[in-house]
Amino acid sequence: MPPPPALPTSFHRLAWSNLTAQSAEQIALAAAPIVAVLTLGVGEGETGLLQTALTAPFVLFAIPAGLLADRMPRRLLMAAAEAMRALALLAILVALAGGVLTLPLLGALGFAAVCGTVVFSVAAPALVPSLVAPTQLAPANARIELARTIAFACGPAVGGMLVGWIGGAPAFGCAAALSLVAALCLTGIAEPARAPVPRRHPLADLREGLAFVRHHPLLRPVFITQFIFNTAHFLLLAAFVPYAVHRLGLSASGVGTVLSMFGVGMVSGALLATRIMGRLPFGSVIGLGPVTGFAAALVMALTTLVPSPALAALSFFLLGAGPILWVISTTTLRQSVTPAALLGRVSAINILSYGARPLGSLLGAIVGSRYGADACLYLAALVFGLQALVILTSPVVTIARQPQPQPA
């Protein structure tokens, strides 16, 4: 069999911009709460408010970002978003260096920076199909996700070390520089021109995207599965740290080591994704993510009977490795079955599934406070089982090969 054709130069620019943009995001997200605690002296409740400000844009601005991504050149939209993020991070640097940074200002500027993340996350999957051939979608998405997982695994550690070694201002300066590099990479992409979009009310565009996902026999169960997965994942995370300390006997460094296995699993899954997708039916690869998530939850629940840190580490490894195959394969599915003119809005609707994360955290707080951490882990296993059931009983897992791309 001849080797697959090389990915084009424009895609490599997108991949590099993705790596630098995701690294900027992770460094800034790690630095912000550390600076809030060490420099501003805030407590747990205030850091919770800061985290709310840093996650709210995913719910508030995913849909507007999708509407823009379907109406203007996506590379320019992403470059502008990265430039906005760089300006917001530079403003934090200046305020911190000048001694005038406050928690509300940090929250507001962090909110603006994360808006850039949302735009990038929505527009990038919509841009990929215009840069690569249909047969290259899966390896291209694997490359994108590998960069994201590397940033996810290394960015928080780098951010923490930068703040500890040279201070908060240089950490935000490093993140801003990475965002500017991402913007420069994006401006050099040769994005094919799209047909002009007729002007109409944004609500009509939104209804069109929602109706497409709601009525599509493949995308609807994918969205439902992803929403349930996010709920279960953050339900488990809400209970894990106190459970790990009090029941598994882990120190702070031990907890960090176990949690880091999630990133190790993500990187491992991304590295193997193209090979796995070449050997298994397309629908089977999609089903692997939810099934592996359920297996991970069962392993974590088993630690209530066998309190083993090694089992907890295995659980987080599985939570990273399997679901990254889900991300790569379902992104390829969306890009294949969605008309090009709708890709931005459909990508934005997918991002809305992240809204289940605070729901899972809240559920974990309620169940954990009333019934204890064990109950949270058992409930998480049940919810993970539900998401696996949804996808396994859907037509998605019966797909033999990647669907043919849809016309614009």
Q: What is the mean pLDDT of the chain?
A: 84
Weakest mean pLDDT among 47-56, 75-84, 236-245, 357-366 = 47-56
**Helices within 247-355 (DSSP H only):** 252-279, 282-302, 309-337, 343-351
More confident: 256 or 66: 66
Token pair for residue 289?
């993510």
At 5, the pLDDT band (50, 70, 90 cuts) reads low
pLDDT at 170 over 70: yes
Classified as helix, coil or strand, 354 is helix
Residue with tokens 């640097």: 93
**pLDDT > 80? residue 160:** no
pLDDT band at 388 (very low <50, low <70, confident <90, very high): very high
Q: 184: pLDDT confidence band, cut at 50, 70 and 90? A: very high
* End-to-end alpha carbon distance in the chain: 31
Counting residues of the chain whose pLDDT is more than 70, the rounded percentage is 91
As a whole number, mean pLDDT of residues 358-386 equals 84
Side chain identity, residue 328:
I
3-state SS assignment for residue 77: helix
Least confident of 187-196, 212-221, 225-234, 301-310: 187-196
Q: Is the pLDDT of residue 49 over 90?
A: no
What span, in angstroms and rounded, lies between the C-alpha atoms of 355 and 112?
18
Closest CA to 247 of 309, 293, 202: 309
Q: How far apart are the C-alpha atoms of 114 and 26, rounded to whole Å?
A: 10
pLDDT for the residue 310: 92
Spatial CB neighbours of 93, under 8 Å, sequence gap ≥ 6? 169, 170, 172, 173, 176
| Per-residue pLDDT at 101 exceeds 70 | yes
How far from 260 is each of 155, 253, 316, 358, 385, CA to CA, in Å?
12, 10, 8, 21, 24
* Position 118 pLDDT exceeds 90: no
Q: Which SS3 state, helix, strand or coil, does residue 73 take?
A: coil
d(CA 36, CA 68): 33
Tens digits of residue pLDDT in 75-86: 899 999 999 999
Q: How far apart are CA 22 and CA 12, in angstroms?
A: 15
pLDDT at 238: 72
Query: Average of pLDDT values for 168-175?
Result: 83
Does pLDDT of 290 surpass 80? yes
**What's the DSSP call for residue 102?**
-
